[in-house]
Amino acid sequence: MTDTEPRTAPSTPTPTPQPMWRLALWLTAEPVSLIGDQIFFLAMAWTAVQAGGPKGVGLVLVAGAVPRALLMLVGGAVVDRLGPRRIAVSSDILRALLMIVAVTALAGHSSIALLMTLAAVFGAIDALFYPATGSLAPRVVPSTQLVRVQNIRALGTRAALLVGAPLGGLLLTIGGTSLAFTVNVAAFTLSAGALALLKVRTDQSDQPDREGMIRQIIDGLRYALTEPVTRNLLLLVALLEFAVNGVINTAFPSLAADRGWGAQGLGWLVAAFGAGAAIAALVLITARRINRPGLLIPGAALTGAIVLALFAGAHNRSLVLALSFGIGVVGGIVGGIVIPLIQTTTPPDLLGRLMSLFGIATIGTAPLSIAAAAFITDQAGLRTAFLYASTLTLIGALACAASSSVRRLQIQHPAGRSS
């Protein structure tokens, strides 16, 4: 490939055609599994606060988050070795079985140590589930449909996040943890069944079995660090997610309190962000073509950096809501295009490890991003916190804009069209 040629995807077999009902079941069942995640951690937090107060909640949530983050790379290597569908189905089955164990274990007592153990096991299983589900789409649908399918998945994920916590609270009110975990058994079983029905291109990785797990992980990290497209796109996603997670979870509550808008104002801020992300996903789903994605991604990130900086001096509620909506749009555009690009530019035998790195960049760093934003807000104030988030996003945008490999990226569209 010469420097003037556009970046193209690796040559991979076309996924096996399958009926729409199977795809619809998969795209519906995956959010159901994510709702199960939300219900589980809400139930654990509620039980922990009764057993050990706020400190107990912190310990239990950390016990679930740390194994998920630390083992995500291992999970990606396992996915590349054994195949994503097999690992995704197994993960759902293991979580369903864990729910049955949790119902029995928590029937007599609910010590913090027991809750931490259950949360740690659940987090370790999640470290397998996320790379597996993230690697499925390129094996299920043609590359020309990846943007559309990934943004449908994004809408499902956001719906799951909105529904999971309220549903969990309702279940806890009606029947306690026993009912919540019983519903989770059904949710994870449904997800496993839907995944098992999918026809994927292959369930066996091209990676030779003789290669050790550590070596596989090192190979995945080396590829991510040396391949310019992957390196810069992952850097942008990591910095943008780090910035936005901190803003939403720390700066937004402080902003609503500082302006005297109260809890209702905070709710509107978060809702505006979610609406922006949903609108971006809908646009990408319905778009017939996406022109120059390699320029659109850094352009959107640069816009996000400007919007985050404008928060620092904004006091009018309508303006702040518009800015929150704008950040949601930026996040939706970047995530909705970057994931398909990573999936189509990554060799199939490395996809699980790359999606595990994407999971670390988005899910794994969330506790650190919230802690960093909270510290900056407390020590230097809201203005500095927003400028800090803006700077992180700007660095990611400039890294992508400076990469000729990223700028030349193309997305294949139906009927052989590319952009």
State the CATH number of the domain containing residue 277: 1.20.1250.20
Q: Domain containing 198: what range? A: 20-202
248 and 331 Cβ atoms separated by less than 8 Å: no
What value does the mean pLDDT take over residues 42-61? 83
What value does the mean pLDDT take over residues 24-32? 85
How is residue 53 written in tokens? 């107060």
CA distances for 264 relative to 159, 252, 259, 268, angstroms: 20, 12, 12, 6
Q: When comparing pLDDT for 161 and 196, which is higher? A: 196
Report DSSP state, residue 142: -
- Residue 233: inside a domain: yes
Q: Do 27 and 155 belong together in one domain?
A: yes
What value does the mean pLDDT take over residues 403-411? 87
Q: Which residues of 257-289 are buried (b: 16+ CB within 10 A; e: fewer)?
A: eeeebeeebbebbbebbbbbbbebbbebbebee
Please name the residue that has the structure tokens 């290669």: 211
Provide the residue type at 88 as one letter: A
Give backbone dihedrals phi and psi of 261, rounded to 5 degrees, phi first.
-90, -15
0.85 exceeded by pTM: no
**What is the domain count for the chain?**
2
Categorize the per-residue pLDDT at 125 as very low, low, confident or very high, splitting at 50, 70 and 90: very high
Q: Which of 169, 202, 235 is at the close of a domain?
A: 202
Measured between alpha carbons, how far is 168 from 117 in angstroms, rounded to an integer? Answer: 21
Q: Do 169 and 240 belong together in one domain?
A: no
What value does the mean pLDDT take over residues 275-290? 89
Instruction: Write down the pLDDT at residue 302.
Output: 96
- Residue 207: inside a domain: no
| Cα 305 from chain centroid (whole Å) | 21
Query: Does the pLDDT of residue 223 top 70, yes or no?
Result: yes
Instruction: Write down the pLDDT at residue 122.
Output: 94
Sequence-ordered list of residues with C-beta below 8 angstroms from that of 287, at least 6 positions apart, any chain: 147
Instruction: Write down the pLDDT at residue 13.
Output: 53
Measured between alpha carbons, how far is 152 from 336 in angstroms, rounded to an integer? Answer: 9
- Residue 209: inside a domain: no
Q: Do 136 and 71 belong together in one domain?
A: yes
Q: Do 164 and 284 belong together in one domain?
A: no
Which of 195-199, 328-332, 371-375 is modeled with the greatest confidence?
Answer: 328-332
Instruction: Write down the pLDDT at residue 328.
Output: 93
The candidate with the shortest Cα–Cα distance to 308, out of 324, 284, 297, 292, is: 324
- Residue 92: inside a domain: yes
- Residue 409: inside a domain: yes
Measured between alpha carbons, how far is 393 from 242 in angstroms, rounded to an integer? Answer: 9
Instruction: Write down the pLDDT at residue 414.
Output: 54
Measured between alpha carbons, how far is 341 from 9 in angstroms, rounded to an integer? Answer: 8
Measured between alpha carbons, how far is 246 from 350 in angstroms, rounded to an integer? Answer: 30
Query: Does the pLDDT of residue 413 top 60, yes or no?
Result: no
What value does the mean pLDDT take over residues 75-82? 90
Q: Do 360 and 304 belong together in one domain?
A: yes
Categorize the per-residue pLDDT at 291 as very low, low, confident or very high, splitting at 50, 70 and 90: confident
| Cα 10 from chain centroid (whole Å) | 24
Pick the range with the lowest mean pLDDT from 14-28, 54-68, 233-247.
14-28
